[in-house]
Structure 1
Amino acid sequence: MSTSVSKVVPFGSGGRIVQSACRSLSLAAAGLAALEARFEDRDFASTFLRVIGVIMQVRGRVIVTGIGKSGIVARKMTATLTSTGTPAIFLHPADAGHGDLGMITPDDVVLMLSHSGESTELGPIIQYCKRFGIPLAAMTAQPQSTVAQAADYGLLMPEIEEACPNALAPTTSTTVQMAFGDALAIALMEMRGFSADDFHKFHPNGRLGAQLVKVAELMATGDEMPMVREDASLLDATIEMTRARLGGTAVVDRNGRLIGAFTDGDLRRTVTGKQNLTEAVGRFMTKMPLAVAPDELASEALRLMHERNIMLLFVCEQGALVGALHMHDLLHAGVA
C-alpha cells in the first residue's frame, strides 16, 4: 500500500531540508533548556525530590506506563531504570484492563507518562491506584488534566513547541520526556551508590560488559603464570617462557614479590650479546616492571599496555605476584 501526502516538497530545495532539520534540533535544545529551568521552580524541585524518596523507599518496583509515543518513552525509561539499579517494569495501558493490573502490588509505585494528560486508556490504571492506595507519580504538560489531578506527585513538564510543523506529531515533547527519564534514573543511581561493579553484574554481555571486566577475570594464574626466581639461569627462564607461551616471565624474590620481568625481547638481546645461558636471569631482567592490581578494569590495563608498548602485564596484590595478563587475552575478550 502506498502512502500519499497532501503536499510534496521538491528535492531541489536542499537548503530548506537542512534548515528544517536544524529547526527541529533547535526546538529540541530549547525544550531541554526549559526542562532544566523547571528545576529552578521550588515546587517542581520539591516534587522531584519526593518522587525520588518514594522510589527509594518502596519495597517493590517502579511500574512505568504510557500510551502511544509516551509509551515508547516509558519502555526506554523502564530499561534505563532497571539497568541502573532501580527495579522497574513497563505496563501497557491496553493490557491493564485485561488482567495486567494484577502486576501492580501495594509495594510498588506507578510512574505515568502522558503529555496531554487525557489518554482514556490510562483510566483503569488511575482507578486501580486510587482504590488500592498505590502511589501515583505523573509526568504531564497539562496541569488541569485528568492525569495531573489524579496524581499524588505531579511532575509538570514545560510548555514547548513541537518540531512537527502541524504541531501534531510528538517530537520535542518526547525528547523532553526522555531526558527527564534519564535525569530521574541517574539521580536514583547516584543515590544508591551504583558502581561500575554493579553495572557489570547487570551488563555481562556485549561491548559494555567487556569494558567492565576486571583484570582478575582474565589473568593467568597458578601453573599458567610464568615465574622464576632471580637466581634462576637464563636457560631456566627461557624454558619457563616457552612453557607458559605468554612472551615473557615474571622474576620474583624468595617471598614471591615481583622484582623484574624477562621477555622475548630481553632474551634476544641477551643471546645477541653472547651471554652464557647459565648466568642468573636477575642480571638481565627489566627491574620493577609495570604491574596492575587484580581489581583494576581490564580496559585500563589495555590502555597501559598501549601507552607503554608492551604485550605482557603482571598482576600484583600488595607487591606479591598473583597473575599475568597478555594483550591477546584482552582483545579476545572484546576489551577495547
Structure 2
Amino acid sequence: MSDATDTGREVLQTEAAALSVLADNLPPDFDAVVDLIATLPGRVIVTGIGKSGHIARKIAATLASTGTPALFVHPAEASHGDMGMISGDDAVLMLSNSGEAVELRDIIEHTRRFGVPLIGLSSRPLSTLMRAADHHLTIPALPEACGIGMVPTTSTTLTLALGDALAVALLRRRKFRPEDFGVFHPGGKLGAQMARVEKLMHTKVPTVSPDTPMPDALLTMTAGGFGIGAVVADGVLRGIITDGDLRRNMANLMDRTAGDVATRDPLTVPPDMLAAKALAILNERKISVLIVCDGDVPVGILHIHDLLRAGVA
C-alpha cells in the first residue's frame, strides 16, 4: 500500500470522525435557525471569504434548488455596492471558521444597523462574528486533516455538511416533493428524470375504430411507425393492437376487424406522470411503447426510445 493511499485514508477517517462529533453535538440554535428561515419573507443571503466563500456558494445553491430562496453575496463586493442585495426581509448566513475575517465586518455592521437577522457559523463562539450574531451555528473546533493545522479541510467539511443539514431540514419542513425539485432542475440528467410524460410523448396517435378491417388497420399502424394502433370508439380508448396481437391472431387475420384482434383494457399512463416512472413501467412489463391517456381519451404515444434519447435512464 502506498504512502498516498495511507494519507488519503487518514484524511477521510479524520473528517468522518469530525462529522460524527458534529452529529452528536448539533448546535443548540439549529432548530431556531430552521424556524427563522422557513418563515422568512425574503431570501437567505449566504456569505464568506476564502474557502468559506466557496462553501457558502454551494450552500446557497443547495438551498435555492430545494425550495429556499438563497443568494451568495461576496463580502468584498458587498462593501462596494452589493450591500443593496440585502433587504430587510432577508437573513444573512455568514461563514467564517475563525469568525474574525476583516472582509466580513461591513456586512456584520449592515445587519446590525438595519435589523437584518444574522446567523453566524464558526468554530469560535467568542469571535467577533459569533458575538454579533443573533443565532449561532457553532461547529466543533477539531484538528484540520492536513496534518499541519493550517489547510481548511475538516472545518470546511463540517461547514458544508451543516449547510446540507439545514437544507434538508428545510426541505422536509416545506414538504418538498420530487416534482418540486424538477422545477428547479430543468436541464441535464435530473431535468430528464423529472420531466413529465407529456413533454416526451408523440401527440399523433395511430387510431382505428373497432370495426376497421384489419388490412386497413395494418396500414394505419405501419404509417404510425410505432408498431401499435389505438382502437377508439366515441373518442374513448377501447383497446390496442400490437405486434404481439398480430402474431397471436395470424389465423384469418385479414378477415377480421380491429376490435376482434385488439387487447382490451390496455395499460396506459397519464400525461402528468414522471417520465422516470413511465420508464420503470416499460422495463417491468418488458414492453417498448405505451398509450398516454387523459382519462379514457388517448392523447399520445410514449416510446422507450424517446425516454432513452432524453436521458431518463
Normalising to structure 1: TM-score of the pair? Answer: 0.87
Amino acid at match of 1:298: A
Q: Comparing 282-291 with 306-315, which one deviates more in the overlay?
A: 282-291
1:34 is matched with which residue? 21
Give distance in 1, aligned partners of 2:187 and 2:6: 41
Q: Tell me how far 1:269 sits from its aligned partner.
A: 5.1
Query: Of 224, 229, 232, which aligns to 1:244?
Result: 224
Q: Tell me how far 1:68 sits from its aligned partner.
A: 0.9
Give distance in 1, aligned partners of 2:236 and 2:306: 24
State yes or no: 1:325 paired with 2:290.
Answer: no
The answer as to whether partners of 2:205 and 2:298 remain within 8 angstroms in 1 is no
Q: What is the DSSP-based 3-state SS (H/G/I as helix, E as strand, rest coil) of the residue aligned with 2:254? A: coil
Amino acid at match of 1:22: R
Give distance in 2, aligned partners of 1:239 and 1:250: 13
Alignment gaps of 5+ in structure 1: 1-13
State yes or no: 1:23 paired with 2:10.
Answer: yes
1:191 is matched with which residue? 173
Q: What is the DSSP-based 3-state SS (H/G/I as helix, E as strand, rest coil) of the residue aligned with 2:2? A: helix
Could you report, residue by residue, the CA deviation over 1:277-317 in whole angstroms, capped at 9, with x for unpaired residues?
Answer: 23112332233332222221111111221222211111234
Q: Tell me how far 1:268 sits from its aligned partner.
A: 4.8
Please show how residues 80-99 of structure 1 align to structure 2 within 5 Å. Answer: 80-99=62-81
Could you report, residue by residue, the CA deviation over 1:53-74 in whole angstroms, capped at 9, with x for unpaired residues?
Answer: 2212222211100111111000
State yes or no: 1:258 paired with 2:240.
Answer: no
1:10 is matched with which residue? none
Query: Of 280, 283, 286, which aligns to 2:260?
Result: 283
Tell me the percent identity.
49
The answer as to whether partners of 1:238 and 1:267 remain within 8 angstroms in 2 is no
Give distance in 2, aligned partners of 1:293 and 1:35: 45
Dislocated runs of 4+, deviation >6 Å = none
Give distance in 1, aligned partners of 2:177 and 2:141: 35
Query: Of 282, 288, 294, which aligns to 1:311?
Result: 288
Could you report, residue by residue, the CA deviation over 1:213-246 in whole angstroms, capped at 9, with x for unpaired residues?
Answer: 111222233xx11222333221222122122212
How many residues in Structure 1 have an aligned counterpart in Structure 2?
A: 313
Give distance in 1, aligned partners of 2:81 and 2:294: 55
Give distance in 1, aligned partners of 2:295 and 2:140: 54
Give distance in 1, aligned partners of 2:235 and 2:3: 71
The answer as to whether partners of 2:75 and 2:107 remain within 8 angstroms in 1 is yes
Q: What is the DSSP-based 3-state SS (H/G/I as helix, E as strand, rest coil) of the residue aligned with 1:110? A: strand
Q: What's the Cα RMSD here?
A: 1.8
Give distance in 2, aligned partners of 1:141 and 1:178: 13
Give distance in 2, aligned partners of 1:329 and 1:100: 45
Q: What is the DSSP-based 3-state SS (H/G/I as helix, E as strand, rest coil) of the residue aligned with 1:117? A: coil
Normalising to structure 2: TM-score of the pair? Answer: 0.94
Q: What is the DSSP-based 3-state SS (H/G/I as helix, E as strand, rest coil) of the residue aligned with 1:63? A: strand
State yes or no: 1:78 paired with 2:65.
Answer: no
Could you report, residue by residue, the CA deviation over 1:120-159 in whole angstroms, capped at 9, with x for unpaired residues?
Answer: 1111111111111111001111111111101000111123
